Structure 1
Amino acid sequence: MYTTMLLPEIVKTERVLKSAHLKREVELDFFVPESLMGNEQLNLLLLNDGQDTAALDVQQSMNHLYRNFKIEPLVVVAIKAGTERLQEYGVAGHPDFLGRGGQAAAYTSFILKELLPFIQAEVETPIKGKRAIAGFSLGGLMAFDLAWNNDNYFDAVGVFSGSFWWRKKDLRDGYTDDDRILHRCIALTKTKPELKFWLMTGTEDELADRNRNFIIDSIDDTVDVIKELLKKGYRRPEDITYYEMVGGRHDVVSWGRALPAFLLWAFGRKTIASL
């Protein structure tokens, strides 16, 4: 008689967390490996804009990588944005020129003070491995800001087509690149947070080219973030990975195609050399 070995699976469950900081119920999707023994080095990934997980093929990508032993045991918690997304996402304490992002500090408090304790209470196995946060577009900007200012909670951040254009002045009001909020925050930070960075753009993210250098703003702004990080003493490729997707657009299809590369970068299983 032969015993059939079942492949490991990622199981999706839905949760709702009533947030005092956001003053709303936050819907969550949990993606958890089944049949954990309890002695695994369990990792955690938070995803902003969790309402898009189906279009991103999160569960399928995780299953493929996990079944083939490409990634370490990983819990993904996808946080669904609410109607106040344009207020909850941004740079905490620094609304843009239209006043958007005014609740980014409250979102940060929600993640640190409410969500992380809730996750550990829901997942039976202690999460003692790497912790990362990632997001798409404006959710990517929020992920970067959250990790940058809270490296005691996070080890890595992933940004897909991040809204690094986030600025304090309209283009029509004498804007210069010094008006980009996140770049300025990085430059003014006196410490060097203990973080790793994975930044992705698509060559067809947009058409805008405000400085007319024949490079779209999405790429320019991301490359300039990397330049600021290098000034802080981070190194490539040890600390910073830049993934430019040829033909990639500002949409969930492109981000879903890039997601496996990010998961492998952040949570790839380490190979053991043959003896």
Structure 2
Amino acid sequence: MEYPVAVALAERADVLPVGPGWWYEPKFDGDRTVLWWRDTVRIQTRSGRDATEQWLDIASAGMDLPPDTVLDGEAVIWRDGRMDFGAVRSRASARGRRLTDLMHRYPASFAAFDCLMHAGVDLRRRPYVERRAALLDVLAGQPPPIQPVPATDDPDVARAWIEQLAGQGIEGVVAKQASATYRAGRTPAWRKLRHSETVDAQVIGYTGNVARPSKVVVELPDGRRMLSRALTAALSRDVARHLADTETGGRARTRDGEAYTTTSGPVVEVAAGTTRHATVTVTRVR
């Protein structure tokens, strides 16, 4: 397996998939990361960027795992009994003394939900239930901050997670087919059902400087293209990091005549209620 790995992504679901062969995991509110322990321990972002420095506490804990292990999961930060995504974003964008301070004040945890390699064996072609068994084997007796996410094949338990755990920062549930292999990109074998009212949208352009975009143009699932409201400083930094790894194109204009630079940018969450208005509100980079 070559570093970085292309991660599997869940398709959106409007209802919880049920029936034989479906398993369910609570969706933790954090940053998608892959923990590598091969020649050294590294932390990879969803886009393939090395983020070991930002998640050094997770990487240090990863040294206790068996060598030649690769785990997929979420980097999360717990504050006052719930996951704090704002703290995750602050950590991910911090540098230098500020990063060191945040690491000490708000230590991170790693919620592992898949095992891509075990004892040097690539497991991506194995079914989900085999990879889940390998994950539990790797993490047997492992203390925090690295822990496996819960999993169940009982849809009633999954519904209870959705209804009862929102206060802890659980976003919803990811349903996975027992026989599903680990495939890069979006796959119908993984489906996410959220309780929060957000929509995934593809960034297709931005206004302002590529190093500090002020707004983004997004394409919604129904094909509509909309301009966002002004990005917060943290969101602007997040989008800029992704744009640094993509090729920007030419110039275009929104239907209202505002000029923007075209690009193939990241997927972002937008508040679902804002998609009926002239502009959308970006809540986070996926």
Common topology (TM > 0.5): no
Q: What's the TM-score, normalizing by structure 1?
A: 0.27
Structure (1/2) with the larger strand percentage: 2
